[in-house]
């Protein structure tokens, strides 16, 4: 994974943080579940760890459920878009009827 982060300060001193993460084949994504406690979604690669969980300790609210569903829907849309774009980036298979695709 490669990750970058930047911090910008507004005129009133408010900080804005932007993070960019590019996943790689060595990235490990896991959802850990516990009896009676909120799950933890983690993304780990090298020196970068991203942990997503709710703010409560064990208590899960309807807002937490709504956020989890929004996260799942966004991830589903992300994967669907990748599936549509991936075939465009694959090299075309050589056509055996074309002269360049025939063995000499």
pLDDT surpassing 50 at residue 99: yes
Question: Which phi and psi (to 5°) does residue 83 adopt?
Answer: -60, -35
Residue-wise DSSP of 12-53: TS-EEEEEEEE--TT-EEEEEEETTEEEEEEEEETTEEEEE-
pLDDT at 104: 46
Question: How many structural domains does the chain have?
Answer: 1
Tell me if 70 is assigned to some domain.
yes
Tell me if 30 is assigned to some domain.
yes
For the chain, the average pLDDT equals 85
Tell me if 42 is assigned to some domain.
yes
pLDDT at 47: 82
pLDDT at 93: 60
pLDDT at 55: 87
Give tens-digit pLDDT for 31-71.
999 988 899 999 998 888 899 999 877 789 999 999 999 99
The domain in which residue 46 lies consists of 25-88
Tell me if 7 is assigned to some domain.
no
Tell me if 6 is assigned to some domain.
no
Tell me if 8 is assigned to some domain.
no
């Amino acid at each position: 994974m490669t990750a970058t982060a930047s911090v910008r300060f507004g005129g009133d001193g408010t900080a804005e943080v932007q993070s960019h993460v590019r996943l790689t084949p060595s990235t490990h994504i896991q959802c850990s579940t516990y009896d009676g406690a909120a799950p933890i979604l983690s993304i780990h690669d090298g020196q970068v760890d991203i942990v997503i969980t709710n703010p409560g300790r064990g208590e899960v609210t309807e807002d937490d459920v709504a956020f989890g569903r929004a996260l799942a829907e966004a991830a589903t849309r992300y994967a669907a878009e990748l599936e549509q774009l991936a075939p465009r980036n694959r090299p075309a298979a050589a056509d055996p009827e074309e002269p360049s695709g025939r063995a000499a």
